[in-house]
Amino acid sequence: MKRLAVLALSLMMPLAASAGGLTVSDAFVPMAPPGVMAHAAYFKLTNDSPETRRLIGVRAEGYAMAHLHRSVEMGDVATMSAVDAIDIAPGQRIVFTPGGLHVMLMHPAAKQAEGDTVLLTLTFANGETLPVQVPVTRVRHGS
């Protein structure tokens, strides 16, 4: 049921940004717990253009660094690895979601509160950039 709750939450949010046939939707940054150096941003990225687009990086205002990252369960062990590039075929939607692809946000300059926004700028191999204002939310888990 938690998936449903996340879905319900995401349905309430407006589309965040689109440019050149690329659309970011359902973006959110779960509020960072105290004491953390890194947390994450999630969204869906849809390619409605006729060409494959390649996401190669991300910048986050208010953070020292931001990376495209993927969590992987290897056996019983949680591991993460950096992702250099993600190809998005025409009509394809890439989902950044907890436990999978995420934007790792590192070394926040200031603590955020619920309702703040984080400006993410997605960068693509063809030189395009797509700025997205992402709301900081307190994620509700469970049924």
Partner 1 sequence: MRRLAILLSLIAAPLMAQVQGVELDEPVALPAFHLENDLGETLDKDALNGHWTLVMFGFLSCPDVCPFTLGNLEAAVSETSMRVRPDNVPQVVFVSVDPARDAGTVSDYARYFHPDFRGFTGTRDQIDTLIEATDSFYRLMKPDASGYYEVQHSSAVSVIAPDGTLRAKLQPPFDPGATAEFLARLQIAYRRSLNQ
Contact residues: partner 1, CB under 8 A = 1-4, 7, 30, 33-40, 64-65, 69, 71, 73, 76-80, 98-99, 102, 104-107, 139, 141-143
Q: Is 49 left (phi over 0), alpha (psi -120 to 50) or beta?
A: beta
Please report how close the Cβ of residue 128 comes to partner 1 at its closest, in angstroms: 24
Q: What angle do CA 61, 65, 66 make, to 5 degrees?
A: 80
Nearest approach in angstroms of CB 127 to partner 1 is: 26
Q: Torsion angle of alpha carbons 35, 33, 18, 61, nearest 10°? A: -20
Q: Kindly state the smallest distance separating residue 118's Cβ from partner 1, in Å.
A: 13
Q: Which two tokens stand for residue 51?
A: 């060409």
Nearer to partner 1, 84 or 126 (CB): 84
